[in-house]
Amino acid sequence: MSAAHTRSDGNVFTHLLGELGDHHGFYVGPYKVAELPIILWDNGQLHIYPSSAAMEAGRLYRMEQGHPVRVTDGQKPTLDLSITNLVVYQWIGIALLGLFLWRSLRRYRQNPLEPPRGLQNAIEAIVVFLRDEVVRPNIGSTGLANGLLPYFLTLFFFILILNLLGLIPGGHTATGSLAVTGALALTAFVVINGGAIATIGFKKWLQHLLGGGPLWLSPILVPIEIIGMFAKAFALCVRLFANMTAGHIALLSLVGLIFFFETVLIAPISVAFSVFVYCLETLVAFLQAYIFTILTAVFLGLASEETH
């Protein structure tokens, strides 16, 4: 795409930032590798198409700004259940994570007395750290901490692998989508309140809604505490999304400077800063997985405390 054409449509930054979103197709970098099925639930009927071209050939829907809309009124369908680009990257992350953990577990079972090494050593160190420094210290109930340890380990590794996939050249970051981070925050919300109810009982969990105040203040305190419960999950969702998106925006903006100024003289500066931001993004990938996990553990520990 020429600079003149890009600027006539807006600017190069708008074009590059548009690549951060989700797509109805499997993409490696900006290149479409394969079509993905489009699944729509609309007007009480399920519509399944093998590709966007097949959907448009059916003349019921068309693609508009990357989203299916009805041909008749231009409105979106009731529910879009399509397999998108970020869904595929989540599947890739799950497959890679399962492979790494399976190999480490197999090596441990084959040689249980042999000191861990390589990938097995790294995974074991992370598991021990999360167990002894994140989950158990922040959750007062030992039984609850041990019972939910697999959830916290899965949460950390899943977020980490998705973050790292976005740093591979051509990869896309699923945690840069509000839908993904929102789903993670929703599971955290259920675990936090479900774990608290299972530990201290429903009656004492309700007492937490008073925030330690007297009963006559319940009309004020209860709504505030309920808002606080949802605000914690919302903060988890937005923090992960914003941090993973911000780094990619910075990288694309630095690379876009070369095309914006239409000269290679800016390239050394742009590349140098891009390498620095890329290294920073690698640190952020680990840090955000850790922050999401430890905050979930802290919120669960606070919710499961006995009221006084």
34: phi then psi, degrees, rounded to nearest 5: -155, 155
Contacts of 308 (CB under 8 A, 6+ apart): 212
Reading the block at residue 285, the tokens are: 């990938």
The alpha carbon dihedral of 48, 52, 56, 57 has a sign of negative
122-157 exposure pattern, b = at least 16 Cβ within 10 A, e = fewer: ebeebbeebbeebbbebbbbeebbeebbebbbebbb
Reading the block at residue 50, the tokens are: 């093998």
Please check whether residue 85 is in contact with residue 36, taking contact to mean a CB–CB distance below 8 angstroms: yes
- For residues 103 and 157, the model is more confident at 157
Tell me the residue length of the chain: 308
**How far lies 245's CA from each of 92, 120, 252, 268, in Å?**
20, 31, 11, 24
Percent above pLDDT 70 for the chain: 92
pLDDT digits 0-9 by tens, 277-286? 889 899 999 9
pLDDT of residue 13: 55
Report the run of H or E that residue 27 belongs to, with start and end.
strand 26-28
Report the run of H or E that residue 63 belongs to, with start and end.
strand 61-64
Reading the block at residue 259, the tokens are: 């095309």
Task: With H, G, I as helix, E, B as strand and everything else as coil, classify residue 200.
Answer: helix
What would the mean pLDDT of 14-29 be, rounded to a whole number?
Answer: 72
Q: How far apart are CA 89 and CA 224, in angstroms?
A: 38
pLDDT of residue 15: 56
Average pLDDT, the chain: 85
What would the mean pLDDT of 34-39 be, rounded to a whole number?
Answer: 91
Q: How far apart are CA 155 and CA 191, in angstroms?
A: 12
Report the run of H or E that residue 64 belongs to, with start and end.
strand 61-64
Contacts of 250 (CB under 8 A, 6+ apart): 277
Q: How far apart are CA 71 and CA 60, in angstroms?
A: 6
pLDDT of residue 7: 43
Least Cα distance to 209 among 278, 5, 36, 217 occurs for 217
41: β partners: 46, 79
Q: How far apart are CA 147 and CA 142, in angstroms?
A: 8
Reading the block at residue 162, the tokens are: 């998705």
| 188 exposure class (CB count in 10 Å sphere: 0-12, 13-18, 19+) | buried
Q: How far apart are CA 21 and CA 288, in angstroms?
A: 20
What would the mean pLDDT of 88-98 be, rounded to a whole number?
Answer: 94
Least Cα distance to 147 among 20, 308, 297, 46 occurs for 297
pLDDT digits 0-9 by tens, 193-247? 999 898 888 888 887 777 666 777 777 888 888 898 899 999 999 999 999 888 8
- For residues 232 and 307, the model is more confident at 232
What would the mean pLDDT of 109-129 be, rounded to a whole number?
Answer: 86
What would the mean pLDDT of 288-301 be, rounded to a whole number?
Answer: 95
What would the mean pLDDT of 50-61 be, rounded to a whole number?
Answer: 89
